[in-house]
């Protein structure tokens, strides 16, 4: 039988499909694989409390209309987001999760022969999107677990067309102050598009002050990517969006497929956005539970990177892979740092009170034996 490899683009041949390792599976898949009834998945930075009850109700009602195509432009949701951030509808574009928007941006601004800069370690989707369009990935190491803007700037040349910045950064949870971002942007050439991924911004102490949305009028070559997957608890609905200048939105819109955000997801996101009280409650709960984890990890004599998000990057002081395997044996799945090129670390999502206590109990038991 003949192979189709000759028909596959060279850059795609070099890529790997989305992993099917334990941390990448659903809870039900993990249960089946481990043969356990109770597991705690702390690997995807999900909201353990779930979405707003208003969002659940809205999605249930919208499900009765799935025989009709949804609004291709997500008109009502776009309007609500525009009002939320004080921009025009034409400054917004909805996507099937932030991942799709990251891909759409790469398709719009980069291609073969171009270079795309992003921090490392950071969200893996930037490298995937870069390779998908045939551009050259330029990972820039962090400085003290924080995005190194000066090092990024030193990589900028005529071939660089796109920069991704995760803020707060995943997996470290560190935050760039807006003044530093502003200074960085003032030095970036106009031919370079800068995308700030603010998936975890709502978890920070002051999102309104820290967001790069405030810089849109000053820099036409930037955009902000957000998601409903994290604090809003709608990871399974897949809703993301871009806020940028009208010209940028118009360009990205050309590669956006129609009806990319389904009607049930649009309804849920709209209701979640309107339930501001619930979102604030989620932020408070996350702060309390993250502080609990920080305190217990400190008591064990372990170090972690101070986080502004809903996860912690923990320094195990040794081979985190061994600790990961022993946690799995107890039905607890975290994200091993080796996936980020940091084999001594593990990233742990802030879970429910029960999940966090189970994790700490298991970790303490393991560390007494391993150390």
Per-residue pLDDT tens over the stretch 22-66: 999 999 999 999 999 999 999 999 999 999 999 999 999 999 999
Higher-confidence position of 282 and 5: 282
Q: What is the CATH number of domain 53-275?
A: 3.40.640.10
Please tell me the predicted confidence (pLDDT) of residue 189. 98
Say whether pLDDT at 2 is over 80. no
Say whether pLDDT at 20 is over 90. no
Q: Report the relative pairing of strands 240-244 and 222-227 from DSSP bridges.
A: antiparallel
Domain ranges of the chain: 5-50+277-370, 53-275
Separation in Å, CA 23 to CA 19, 124, 200, 327? 9, 14, 19, 12
Please tell me the predicted confidence (pLDDT) of residue 82. 98
The residues that bridge with 194 in the sheet, in sequence order, are 163, 222
Region for 84 from its dihedrals, namely left if φ exceeds 0, alpha if ψ lies in -120 to 50, beta otherwise: alpha
Domain boundaries 5-50+277-370, CATH class: alpha beta
Average pLDDT of the segment spanning 185-195: 98
Say whether pLDDT at 70 is over 70. yes
Q: How confident is the model at residue 206 (pLDDT cuts 50, 70, 90)?
A: very high
Strands of the sheet with 311-315, listed across from one edge: 303-305, 311-315, 345-349, 335-336
Please tell me the predicted confidence (pLDDT) of residue 323. 97
Please tell me the predicted confidence (pLDDT) of residue 36. 95
Query: Helices (DSSP H) in the chain: which residue ranges?
Result: 10-13, 27-34, 53-62, 75-85, 97-109, 125-132, 149-155, 178-186, 207-210, 246-253, 263-274, 276-299, 320-329, 353-370
Q: Is the C-alpha dihedral spanning 132, 77, 195, 235 positive or negative? A: negative
Rg (CA), the chain: 21
Q: How far is residue 227 CA from its own chain's centroid?
A: 8
Q: Please, what is the average pLDDT of the chain?
A: 97
Q: How confident is the model at residue 6 (pLDDT cuts 50, 70, 90)?
A: confident
Please tell me the predicted confidence (pLDDT) of residue 294. 98
Query: Side-chain half-sphere of 292: how many Cα atoms within 13 Å?
Result: 20
What 3-state DSSP class applies to 362?
helix
Q: How confident is the model at residue 16 (pLDDT cuts 50, 70, 90)?
A: confident
The Cα 321–Cα 144 span in angstroms is 22
- Report which of 164, 158, 183 is spatially closest to residue 122, judged by C-alpha positions: 164
% of the chain at pLDDT higher than 70: 99
- Report which of 168, 166, 159 is spatially closest to residue 137, judged by C-alpha positions: 159
Please tell me the predicted confidence (pLDDT) of residue 87. 98
Please tell me the predicted confidence (pLDDT) of residue 3. 84
The pLDDT tens digits for 117-169 are: 999 999 999 999 999 999 999 999 999 999 999 999 999 999 999 999 999 99
The pLDDT tens digits for 218-268 are: 999 999 999 999 999 999 999 999 999 999 999 999 999 999 999 999 999
- Report which of 207, 223, 79 is spatially closest to residue 162, judged by C-alpha positions: 223
Please tell me the predicted confidence (pLDDT) of residue 371. 61
The Cα 309–Cα 199 span in angstroms is 9
Average pLDDT of the segment spanning 324-339: 97
Q: What is the model's pTM?
A: 0.96
């Amino acid at each position: 039988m003949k192979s189709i490899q000759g028909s596959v683009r060279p850059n795609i041949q070099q890529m790997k499909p989305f992993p099917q390792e334990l941390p990448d599976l659903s809870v039900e898949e993990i249960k089946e694989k481990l043969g356990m009834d109770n597991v705690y998945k702390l690997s995807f930075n999900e909201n353990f409390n779930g979405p707003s009850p208003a969002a659940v109700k809205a999605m249930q009602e919208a499900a009765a209309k799935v025989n009709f195509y949804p609004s291709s432009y997500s008109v009502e949701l776009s309007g609500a987001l525009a009002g939320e951030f004080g921009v025009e509808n034409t400054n917004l574009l909805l996507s099937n999760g932030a991942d799709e928007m990251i891909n759409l941006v790469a398709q719009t601004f980069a291609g073969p022969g171009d270079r795309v800069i992003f921090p490392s370690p950071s969200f893996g989707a930037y490298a995937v999107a870069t390779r998908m369009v045939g551009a050259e990935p330029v990972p820039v190491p962090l400085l003290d677990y924080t995005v190194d803007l000066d090092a990024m700037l030193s990589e900028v040349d005529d071939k660089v067309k796109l920069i991704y910045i995760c803020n707060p950064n995943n997996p470290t949870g560190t935050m760039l102050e807006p003044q530093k971002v502003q200074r960085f942007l003032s030095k970036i050439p106009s031919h370079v598009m800068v995308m700030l991924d603010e998936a975890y911004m709502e978890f920070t102490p002051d999102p309104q002050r820290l967001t790069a949305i405030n810089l849109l009028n000053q820099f036409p070559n930037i955009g902000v990517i957000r998601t409903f997957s994290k604090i809003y608890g709608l990871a399974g609905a897949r809703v993301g969006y871009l806020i940028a200048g009208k010209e940028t939105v118009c360009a990205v819109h050309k590669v956006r497929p129609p009806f990319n955000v389904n009607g049930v997801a649009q309804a849920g996101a709209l209701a979640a956005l309107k339930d501001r009280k619930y979102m604030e409650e989620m932020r408070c709960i996350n702060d309390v539970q993250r502080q609990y984890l920080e305190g217990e990890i400190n008591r064990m004599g372990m170090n972690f990177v101070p986080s502004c998000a809903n996860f912690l990057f923990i320094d195990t002081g040794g081979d985190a892979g061994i600790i990961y395997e022993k946690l799995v044996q107890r039905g607890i799945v975290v994200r091993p740092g080796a996936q980020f090129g940091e084999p001594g670390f593990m990233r742990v999502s802030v879970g429910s009170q029960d999940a966090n206590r189970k994790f700490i109990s298991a970790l303490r038991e393991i560390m007494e034996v391993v150390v």
